[in-house]
Chains A and B, each alone.
Chain A
Amino acid sequence: MIHSMSTTTISDILTPPVHPTGLNGEEQMDTAFDDIKGTVGTQTVDDPKMSAHGVDVFYGDKQAIFDVSLDIGNNEVIAMIGPSGCGKSTFLRCLNRMNDTIPTCRVSGSMSLDGQDLYDPSLDPVLLRARVGMVFQKPNPFAKSIYDNVAYGPRIHGLAGNRAELDDIVTESLKRAGLFDEVKDRLDSPGTGLSGGQQQRLCIARTIAVSPEVILMDEPCSALDPIATARIEELIDELRQNYAIAIVTHSMQQAARVSQRTAYFHLGKLVEVDDTNSVFTNPQHELTENYITGRFG
């Protein structure tokens, strides 16, 4: 396969690298679906900011979330982990009714914010989304300037009295997301022209500019280098002083570092939720243990 050639030809590029087989113990994950009965651990907290009870979500005929009940406490970071496609994003999107916009999506069960039902007619989805902010899995900056991206939320909600205040909000948000130094000379250039990781931080800045009470973050660091990741984790820790945060992540280390509680999802079911410490050191459910150890060792 490997030639001692100084030049690279097309065939070298096209030759696929060889994978060792059976790398990530998939056969262990295939534990029968029916084995998951209820949720292990403590789903409730004393003074929940948000709480979900018996939530089922369907996309058309296909059920994506099965009877999930989970509280998010005040001043708490809850990490949601689980294999790809297990419904973490789907559950997160229920919490600010983003799934309303998908025509095939149907949500049942009860969810509340500060004790008020999310589907209560008196709670407008627009207001809900201003209070429960979201950072999406795929960075989706507006086709506008960097400044306008961040200023958009405060503008539509009238959060800034004048231009100077707006400038302050924008600068502050960009700084907290660790992006300001990179873009301070080109706030007028389009947000879509940033790199993937920069776009991700721009979206975080955009979300925190509205000062929501709850922030839902869907893999906010998936495209970030360790330094930027550390900055975002610091930010999450800061935000926790005043807000509640739910974060989806594929990095066990990150979940362990930033969260107080961890929820493990599997095939649309909430398998286990508890203090982060106990989930990682002493998982109760076999699936949780397999997942965690599969990644760690």
Chain B
Amino acid sequence: MSDQLSQPAKGAPERTASDMSPTTRQVTAGLARRYAAEKRFRLYGMFAIAASLAFLALLLISIVSKGLPAFTQTYMQLDVPLELETLGIDQQTVDGLLDGSISTQAIRRANFNGAIRQGMRERFPEVEGRSATRALYKLVSSGAEFDLAARVMDDPSVLGNRLTLWLPSDDEIGALVKQRADLSAPDTLVTRLDDQAIAWGAELKDAGDFDVRFNTTFFKNGDSREPELAGIRAALVGSAYTLLITFVLSFPIAVAAAIYLEEFAPKNRWTDLVEVNINNLAAVPSIVFGLLGLAVFINFFHLPRSAPVVGGIVLSLMTLPTIIISSRAALKSVPPSIREAARGLGASDLQVVFHHVLPLAMPGILTGTIIGLAQALGETAPLLMIGMVAFIVDIPQGVTDSATVLPVQVYLWADSPERAFTEKTSAAIMVLLAFLIAMNALAVMLRKRFERRW
């Protein structure tokens, strides 16, 4: 379009400078320069976008390639003898379980680990000596007994018989299997396992007793000392609760503050002071809010430590100025003629705001809110101050339970020496990003709905 304009139309006779008006001459002389400037600007823009996309791609590729293995888990097939003697269950209990007079909870604490160990010994009968057998047991995850227990409690009739099932393997051997490493050449492998253990692994692999499956544990469990048992669930739920509190507190307060300041407050020195302070508050380092939370909410009000409720309050303080400032900008951008029209019809100030101004400002307010919440989601420093850095195994059931959040979980895992935690770290970052994208998508959807109304 613009290129067509810069060319004289086809078939038009050449015009000499003398029969052009001064404006025409001036404009024609400058046109090429104007379009060149535009072209240059477009190039800069495209370069900037390409550069940022490249960095983003680099980041994503590095995270995804590191984190992807964490979403799978290696399982090992094992034939487990469920002898009552090993398990420490008497025949009476079994009968009771079978006719239903005894709850399955009774065998919760049975020695399932012993049964698995027995299964391992039978699988590798040639292994002798204490340290060798202990190394052998380590091929199976220490969480495997819970899987076995769940199976037996589901169907107590297997007690006394043998049960073949897939159990999670330990993270070291699991990682090698996931990488499809050549277990027959132990010298080439980077692992903490000794050659003996690798040989057992090779034997299992040759027998087809390894299987790599989707890692449901990662999404079901809380944190754990054992990488193959560690999950993101507790942090995810903690983040969700914390953000919920943050949103519930900061959104209404910030929007109300913005509406009051923009639509109702008289413009005087006091409101100027308030405005300056809100702007300053937005620039306060987040850790300061953490200290405040510790001093006020925990030490003074005695709210529970490490709880999403305190985290949410602290993050609200941080998010409030962001939302207030963007909401004010959004309110300010609503054309004054709309307000006049409503007032002219006899709408009260409150009606003007809630019927006309707020719906028009809503997309902008939501954008500000999502930016504030995204900041809050990624925040670690203030949460460390109020103790949300704890090692949380249980999934928090409410806003007052001890919890941690995704970025803190990332930080904790990144600090762990086990190699399997490295992939968990990247996986946790992926979950964090997914959470963020889901949140943004929701906001975009809401915004679209508001925009469609007019």
Contacts and interface: CB of A to CB of B under 8 A. Distances in A.
Nearest to A203: B341
B12 A142 contact: no
Contact of A210 (B24, B345, B453): B345
10 contacts: A5-B13, A8-B9, A10-B28, A11-B15, A11-B23, A98-B343, A140-B337, A156-B346, A156-B347, A157-B346
B20 A11 contact: yes
Interface string A79-116: 00000000000000000101001010000000000000
Contact of A11 (B11, B27, B341): B27
Nearest to A11: B24
B454 A129 contact: no
Interface of B: 5, 8-9, 11-13, 15, 19-21, 23-24, 27-28, 267, 335, 337-348, 351, 355-356, 359-360, 453-454
A130 interface: yes
A241 interface: no
Interface of A: 1, 3, 5, 7-11, 14-16, 96, 98, 101, 103, 126-130, 133-134, 136, 138, 140-144, 152-153, 156-157, 190, 192, 203, 206-207, 210
B34 to A, nearest CB: 12
A1 B23 CA distance: 12
A210 B341 CA distance: 13
B356 A129 contact: no
A35 to B, nearest CB: 35
A142 B356 contact: yes
B344 A9 contact: no
A136 B24 contact: no
A130 B24 contact: no
Given A11-B15, A190-B454, 6 more contacts: A11-B21, A14-B24, A15-B23, A144-B454, A153-B345, A203-B341
B contact face: mostly helix, strand, loop, or mixed: helix
Contacts of A156: 345-347, 351, 355
B340 A136 contact: yes
Contact of A143 (B19, B27, B28, B360): B360
A136 B337 contact: yes
Given A9-B12, A15-B23, A127-B346, A103 B341 contact: no
B345 A136 contact: no
A143 to B, nearest CB: 3
A10 B341 CA distance: 41
Given A7-B11, A10-B5, A133 B344 contact: yes
Contacts of A136: 337, 340-341, 344
B21 A143 contact: no
A273 B352 CA distance: 36
Given A14-B23, A16-B23, A144-B453, A101 B356 contact: no
B12 A5 contact: yes
Contacts of A143: 338, 356, 359-360, 453-454
A203 B12 CA distance: 48
Nearest to B360: A143
Contact of A142 (B5, B8, B19, B342): B342
Given A144-B454, A152-B355, A133 B345 contact: yes
Contacts of A14: 21, 23-24, 27
B347 A98 contact: no
A142 B338 contact: yes
A258 B356 CA distance: 34
A134 B342 CA distance: 10
Contacts of A9: 8-9, 12, 15
A101 B23 CA distance: 44
B12 A7 contact: yes
B12 A140 contact: no
Identify the 7 closest CB pairs spanning chains A and B, nearest first: A143-B454, A130-B346, A11-B24, A140-B337, A129-B346, A140-B341, A153-B345
